[in-house]
Structure 1
């Protein structure tokens, strides 16, 4: 089994997100996130939210999770952030996901089979969250938002993806404050040592399109 794209669910999630998020400025990126989450049909959606950030991504993922019947979990930094987050979500009448508090390694160890994950780029534990994510054998879509463009261009997904998975494609999209997206699949037939034998990953960013090209050296 692998993640299979469903245009019907993607369309439903997108349309509902447009209706609800049209009052927010620069909502085009969350509409895309909702469509992607709905289209890839994940069974577990994970968001890592940063205090002081709006909850448009939560709205988008909540809509997708509702259409899919998927489990939706949000990770926050501490109990104060948890209260801030839950209050903001309830004020907007959104679906309140499961909210967990803790260090990246501990939290991600309790969330197996992650298939869709969105991390706010303002979190200091960005790398740790992705590095410790236990990805599904069906594959996974990983995104980070609100990142500084220069940091996004330098970011290398191979540094946070384990030897049990392999990067199929990554792209930086100039929507909202920027989206860095990676599609990851199970690394079948290769253990960690075999994975290293293929050499290091090399990334090149097209300065005109912002697209990141990844290949083995």
Structure 2
């Protein structure tokens, strides 16, 4: 099963984020878009990596999206100060119960999670490229978002060769968003492992041919 887009769920997550964060619909942007993406793709494992002081409206938006999808949302923060900022933001927005918060190196935390289908990473996080590479994505596919992107950022430069990006887009929203959709690998691994070389001998010429089976 692949990720399937739901316009209705995306719309609900979008509007609820606007209401909770008291945002202007005429000036909507980063947090609402991210919430709509996670909600619309029915993400079941939502993971966010925040930089120091980076928790805020986007975190509230993802918490709201997780509420609509019935998914799990984990916010990884580097220190206690950012954790408190995060809790203040979700409490002010009336998010209940509070989502999971992990304090410490995000690289260590993300390595323990399996089946991530929505990943949001702050480009100001230390070693954010390695963090993305360590993420164990869902076999259904995954939506990857990098905010506050740095110059020269490319998904191909941070992802391993086993992850195939179906499409990506860079948007001038907030301080810059890079969004990508990674294909699921349900069938690719087994197909590749079962293929083998078959030797065929032409009876007329005597030539040998190797055919990929």
CA distance in 2, matches of 1:64, 1:112: 19
Aligned position for 2:8: 8
TM-score for the superposition, normalised by structure 1? 0.78
Alignment of 1:63-212 (within 5 A): 63-95=64-96, 96-148=98-150, 151=151, 154-187=152-185, 188-189=187-188
CA distance in 2, matches of 1:107, 1:80: 18
Residues 1:92 and 1:186: Cα distance change in structure 2 (over 3 Å):
closer
TM-score for the superposition, normalised by structure 2? 0.79
CA distance in 2, matches of 1:51, 1:27: 24
Q: Work out whether residues 169 and 184 of structure 1, in 8 Å CA contact, stay in contact via their aligned partners in 2.
A: yes
Unaligned runs of 5+ in 1: 195-217
Q: Work out whether residues 78 and 106 of structure 2, in 8 Å CA contact, stay in contact via their aligned partners in 1.
A: no
- TM-aligned CA deviation for residue 20 of structure 1: 2.3
Unaligned runs of 5+ in 2: 194-213
**Structure 1 counterpart SS, 2:15:** helix
Of 25-34 and 43-52, deviating more is 25-34
Aligned position for 1:61: 62
| Deviations, residues 95-128 of structure 1 (Å, cap 9, x unaligned) | 4210112333321121100000111122122112
- TM-aligned CA deviation for residue 190 of structure 1: 5.6
- TM-aligned CA deviation for residue 54 of structure 1: 4.8
| Deviations, residues 139-186 of structure 1 (Å, cap 9, x unaligned) | 0000011234xx1xx112123222332111111011121110010013
Q: How many residues align?
A: 189
| Deviations, residues 70-92 of structure 1 (Å, cap 9, x unaligned) | 10000011334323432343244
Aligned position for 2:42: 41
Aligned position for 1:198: none
CA distance in 2, matches of 1:106, 1:76: 12
**CA RMSD of superposed structures (Å):** 2.4
